[in-house]
Amino acid sequence: MTRHLLRDDDLSPAEQAEVLALAARMKADPFGEVVGKPLAGPRTVAMIFDKPTLRTQSSFAAGIAELGGNPLPINGDLAQIGVRESVEDVARVLGRQAAQIVWRTNDQSKLDAMAQWSGVPVINALSDDFHPCQLLADLLTITERKGRLAGLTATFVGDGACNMGNSWLIAGATAGMHVVVSSPQGYEPAAEMVARAQQIGEQTGGSARLEREVGAAVDGADVVITDTWVSMGKEGESQARLQALAPYALTSDLMGKAGADAIAMHCLPAYRGKEIDAELIDGPDSVVWDEAENRRHAQKAVMAWLQEQDGRSAS
């Protein structure tokens, strides 16, 4: 059966650890002199972008080239998938052209349909519900700084109902971390996301909980994360969001409540002076540039791992 990465819990705890270990090896060997080039041929990877992109497009394109493959960018505005042609028909076409499909889109159900009909691995490069590639990059970054994941406390502050809040709950619990989400009323993650993370945590030793009071949520944390308050597609709610989320800004004062060697994370793009202080994102506790670089290494590992799984299913 073809494997995909559509949401964070598509990887078991053991598989997540395997992908992260492969990402670390690939970072140390960027041109595949030791780990090889699993997309050599070159095999083509279709990259569909329905939403604005910088890190996703650049990191996937560079990573595919380093794996020996051919990156094929597809403009979502021109392709009009689901409008001009059905997702099912596009999946059948691209599955005959490409070894894998990367899609940055809004609707998670469209990714599910692509995966059902493509016949090749499909990777979620961001949806409104999940951002699993960013989380693998973040977990790789934390491992580099802390030497481990299990047992650490990661606190997400701000809009907990966004894709990053969901992915942190699921992927953090999968890694055995204690995930705390602090959001104002109306911006909490969905109850089923918290329940799913708690279910995973029972297996891994991790945990997941909500904490309304932001100072208590950050107290003693090893990692503090935030994301933009006005995500793509939410521009019409801008003023209401800025007002509601202002008390949850990741400031230097708030960071001072975290653990002594805590790190600050942001997946970018960041809006300095809103969800995060300028001096914090540019300061010594920030790891945002490592996160940005590690998108490439983590995604290379995902593509190589899925390619290996696809080969096994075909044999």
* Active-site entry in 55, 241, 266, 295: 295
Per-residue confidence (pLDDT) for residue 238, from 0 to 100: 86
Per-residue confidence (pLDDT) for residue 313, from 0 to 100: 60
Class of domain 4-131+295-310: alpha beta
Catalytic residue flag (residue 4): no
Q: Which residues neighbour 153 within 8 Å (Cβ) at sequence distance 6 or greater?
A: 177, 178, 179, 180, 220, 221, 222, 223, 259
Catalytic residue flag (residue 131): yes
Helix 13-28 and helix 163-174, axial crossing angle in degrees, nearest 10: 100
* Active-site entry in 4, 131, 178, 266: 131
Instruction: Indicate the pairing of strand 100-104 with strand 122-124.
Output: parallel
Per-residue confidence (pLDDT) for residue 314, from 0 to 100: 56
pTM for this model (two decimals)? 0.97
Catalytic residue flag (residue 227): yes
Q: Which residues neighbour 214 within 8 Å (Cβ) at sequence distance 6 or greater?
A: 157, 182, 247, 248, 254
Q: How far apart are CA 197 and CA 229, in angstroms?
A: 23
Q: Domain 134-292: give its CATH code.
A: 3.40.50.1370
Catalytic residue flag (residue 104): yes
Per-residue confidence (pLDDT) for residue 310, from 0 to 100: 81
**DSSP string of 136-192, one letter each residue:** HHHHHHHHHHHS--TT-EEEEES-TTSHHHHHHHHHHHHTT-EEEEE--TT-SPPHH
Catalytic residue flag (residue 295): yes
Three-state DSSP state, 287:
coil
* Active-site entry in 100, 134, 299, 307: 134
Per-residue confidence (pLDDT) for residue 107, from 0 to 100: 96
Per-residue confidence (pLDDT) for residue 301, from 0 to 100: 98
The whole-number mean pLDDT for each consecutive block of 10 residues of the chain, a chain of 315 residues, reads 97 98 97 94 97 95 98 96 96 98 97 98 97 98 98 98 97 98 97 98 98 98 95 80 96 97 97 95 97 98 95 61
CA 146 to chain CA centroid, nearest Å: 19
**DSSP string of 71-86, one letter each residue:** EEEEEHHHH-BTTTB-
Per-residue confidence (pLDDT) for residue 43, from 0 to 100: 97
* Active-site entry in 178, 266, 267, 310: 267
Catalytic residue flag (residue 267): yes
User: Which residues of the chain form CATH 3.40.50.1370?
Assistant: 4-131+295-310, 134-292
Give the pair of three-digit tokens for residue 250: 């990741």
